[in-house]
Structure 1
Amino acid sequence: MERRTFLRGAVVGSSAAAFGGTLMRGAAYAAPAQPGPGPYGALGAADANGIMLPAGFTSRVIARSGQNVAGTGYTWHNAPDGGACFADGTGWIYVSNSEINPGGGASAVKFDPSGTITGAYRILSGTRQNCAGGRTPWNTWLSCEEVSLGYVYETDPYGVNAAVQRPALGRFKHEAAAADPVRRVIYLTEDETDGCFYRFVPTTWGNLSSGTLQVLKAGTATSGTFTWATVPDRDGSPTATRNQVSGAKRFSGGEGCHYANDTVWFTTKGDNRVWQLNLATSTYELAYDDSLVSGGGAPLTGVDNVTSSSYGDLYVAEDGGSMDICVITPDDVVAPFLRVTGQSSSEITGPAFSPAGNRLYFSSQRGTTGSSSGGITYEVTGPFRV
């Protein structure tokens, strides 16, 4: 892959994300990312929060499950998972799912321009195992239920409007969502060992109450061309959505999903891969595969949630592995950006950048206890490339 032709711009807030580029050289597919030196140098010793970071970066704890968010009377939810940031005047909001069943839902933390927490509140309740999701260009958070026949809920990060169930996006074991404002569709991953990759085409862009659910069709190879086919019954009963269209491509445990600049990236945990759809050419390929790493061990395993910086670096969180967030650079180098120590029974979830791009939020879902009640949500501040 060659990603030198980035459109660099804001990733969060009201601006469109910018991550991607020209990845094809004629008809040839380029090799997946390989290990190398990270853009910020080696990881230092663990700090007081148990986080190993490059020089110049610092961490702080934002919230702990079962405890009040600092300066508020709001108790943070258990098992924090997928997340996103939203601009809020001169400050911002970080939204986080709760992957418990029953209960689930999502919460938000509000920050002023200096990064001080000014509020925290619930934006979704009474759902099931809300894993990942995705932000929309109209500043809502799509919270996805990772259960059989699960729903997608559209929520208000600002806490004003009630959450709305969106059955038109299909009923299956949802994981993540990513909005494409160019094609005016929502991409969706499915967390099944033989899952599929979907897109939802709304009847009216900005309104998810009606539309068409489609599934990606392609061959069995790790690169090639793809098409879309309509799923006849988006309710998934009695026949699961993934089994309704002949030729639908199977993926081993769909996880995180991210769109920018005519490209969609998504991860599959069953084979530790980062897939890439080149939307302008209707082709797909591997951005990363731990079995294709040369010259030693793979730096990225247990692939899960994914986001990007405004510079064009892709950040992939690990479920297990070394408890790293790894960076894949525009030069196709993969390296650890941070490592959470002393929490081997947890997973990293919810990476998202603040609107200015200088703060990265994420959670350790089960923290030091290995229990969903031990979740910890962090902020890392430093000289991120923008």
Structure 2
Amino acid sequence: MSSAPRRLATRRQILAGSAATAASVAFTGAFTELFSGTAEARGHSGYGPLVPDPDGLLDLPKGFRYRVLSREGDPLLSGEGLVPSNHDGMAAFAGRNGRVHLVRNHENRVTGKIGVPTVEGLTYDPMGKGGCTSLEIDGRGNVRGERVAIAGTAVNCAGGPTPWNTWLTCEETEDKAGTNGYTKDHGFIFEVDGADPRRTGAVPLTAMGRFQHEAIAVDPGNGVVYETEDAFERPFGLFYRFLPEKPLGGTGSLRAGGALEAMRVPGVPDLSAIQETGASFDRIEWVPVPDPQAAGTPIRLQDFGPRGITHAQKLEGCYWGGSSVYFVSSFAHSDEGSAADHFGQVWRYEPKKRRLTLVIVFGPDTDIQLPGESPDNICLAAGGGLMVCEDGGGAQHVLGVTRRGEVYPMARGRQNIGTADEPEWGEFAGVTFSPDGGTMFVNCYTPGTTFAVTGPWR
């Protein structure tokens, strides 16, 4: 998420200051294989232009409205402290009596803004300022509870939901005990039950690897967990799968351990070199990770044999759809060490066929007000299509993508964290839908704000 260094000039800023020439679509690729929905959902091309918000928080299309559920610095309803900063990845789970449990990451480091309060029985490392909070929302959209779900972790970026209704929160760091004041090693995945956090506690799932985790997706058929790594320096991150000893069933299954493997695409050391949508590779290989704990060497630097392993820059979002896992590369820049440049990719891996396919390529586009670069968190919209959190320069949007590949703005952040002369807006993160599909929840990273968006969803 926001832990990677920013480039000095983005594509959007360059286009704003020059005469863009050749126009092209913002997204290309095989969209129909990604989405599910009704014919009405497949046919629509957005909800119209964004209407400026008189309160200066969130612009939405006509007919939509938002409610602020939580803001950093406000008191937690539990009385445990203040709402932490840096709202990031998030997921919504069905609760009792029509209620929703919203589990939210906080990507905090040792120093910085408001850390997650330490709570006895829910704290891994007292020096870690990251973690998760859980909100309980009733059927009318009112927040009835807000509490710490896990504390003492570090740089909790994204993660993903499990089929048994827990959240896997991911640490995007490789810091060990003794680094930056930490008392324990970091770089793990932790399981969080938003309805009953004490059931899961603060136990690192060490067998799932120690690296700069970003996001996960679980195969609901066999419990295999796919993991992305957002490494900031070359060699860049890997795409992993975790084979649990006990395939399904909640905390016991993942804590029982398993095997961690990394993906090798034969003949492709760097995924950024692939530029053609539809490019497909069969016989994908999965190579055992020599040392999942990275005791002496980060995993991406370990010896995977003479044929090496496949890397990719800025591996971010990851989700399961149909019979496949999809994962996102937000961008690749050759001047930072990638094999080629792109503004974002979505890859599809089909486990039963051992096939990897490039299904979406992002950007460039010539309209600096519309999307086209740096996709980050992604979720499937309830009525068909995608919702994408933008993590580029300039104005920040939640973007919709229809099954036909048409891009439309769903929301635009209006909270200026810069100055009047040099405005800057916090990125969006954690987009997710309520179990009934009637509400879109989304975070503004800075200032930490959680929104609930309702309206005439198709």
TM-score by length of 1: 0.84
Change (3 A) 1:46 1:265: farther
Match of 1:205 in 2: 247
Aligned ranges 1:139-218 → 2 under 5 Å:
139-148=165-174, 150-159=187-196, 160-161=198-199, 162-193=201-232, 194-206=236-248, 207-209=253-255, 210-218=257-265
Which amino acid in 1 is paired with 2:187?
A: G
Query: 1:6 deviation in Å?
Result: 5.0
Counterpart in the other structure of 1:14: none
For the pair 1:252 / 2:278, whether they are aligned, the reply is no
Secondary structure of the corresponding residue to residue 313 of structure 2: coil
Following the alignment from structure 2 to structure 1, what is the Cα–Cα distance between the partners of residues 49 and 85?
A: 32
Query: Which residue of 24, 32, 40 corresponds with 1:3?
Result: 32
Question: Is 1:309 aligned with 2:338?
Answer: no
Does the C-alpha gap of structure 1 residues 326 and 2 become closer, same or farther in structure 2, counting only changes over 3 Å?
closer
Q: 1:52 aligns with which of 46, 53, 59?
A: 59
Distance in 1, Cα, partners of 2:435 & 2:54 = 25
Matched, 1:230 2:288: yes
Deviation at 1:143, TM superposition (A): 0.7
- Tell me which amino acid in the other structure corresponds to 1:309: A
The answer to whether the Cα contact below 8 Å between 1:64 and 1:377 also exists between their aligned partners in 2 is yes
- State the shift of 1:166 in Å: 0.3
- The one-character-per-residue Cα deviations of 1:171-204 (angstroms, maximum 9, x if unpaired) are 0001111111124211111111411111111111
Larger Rg: 2
Q: Which amino acid aligns with 2:429?
A: T
AA partner of residue 247 (structure 1): G
Gaps of 5+ in 2: 1-29, 111-128, 175-185, 333-342, 417-423
Q: Which amino acid aligns with 1:335?
A: Y
Maintained 8 Å contact 1:300/1:326? no
**Structure with the higher fraction of residues in strand conformation:** 1
Please give the alpha-carbon distance, in whole angstroms, between the structure 2 residues aligned to 1:250 and 1:5: 23
For residues 77-105 of structure 1, the C-alpha deviation after alignment (integer angstroms, 9 at most, x for no partner) is 11111100010012111111111113101
Amino acid at match of 2:61: P
Kindly indicate whether the alpha-carbon contact (under 8 Å) linking 2:34 and 2:321 is maintained by their aligned counterparts in 1: no
The separation in 1 between residues aligned to 2:44 and 2:411, in whole angstroms, is 13
- Give the conservation status (yes or no) of the 8 Å contact 2:56–2:415: no
| Bigger mean CA offset, 72-81 vs 136-145 | 72-81
Partner residue, 2:131: 105
1:49, distance to aligned residue in structure 2 (A): 4.5
1:267 aligns with 2:328: yes
Return the alpha-carbon distance in structure 1 between the equivalents of residues 33 and 378 of structure 2.
20
CA pair 330-37 structure 1, distance change in 2 beyond 3 A: closer
Q: Give the aligned residue type for 2:140.
A: S
Give matches, 1:64-103, under 5 Å.
Answer: 64-69=71-76, 73=79, 75-89=82-96, 90-102=98-110, 103=129
RMSD of aligned alpha carbons: 2.4
With over 3 angstroms needed to count, the CA separation of the structure-2 counterparts of 1:37 and 1:44, relative to structure 1, is: farther
Amino acid at match of 2:243: V
CA distance in 1, matches of 2:329, 2:374: 9
For these two proteins, the number of residue pairs brought into alignment is 350
Q: Which has the higher helix share?
A: 2
Q: Secondary structure at the match of 2:215?
A: strand
Distance 1:66 1:2 in 2: 40
Q: Once the 2 structures are TM-superposed, how far is the Cα of residue 345 of structure 1 from its aligned partner?
A: 4.2
CA change 1:5–1:224 in 2 (3 A) is: closer
Looking at structure 2, the residues matched to 39 and 312 of structure 1 have their Cα atoms a distance apart, in angstroms, of 12
1:198/1:4 Cα in 2 relative to 1: closer, same or farther (>3 Å)? closer
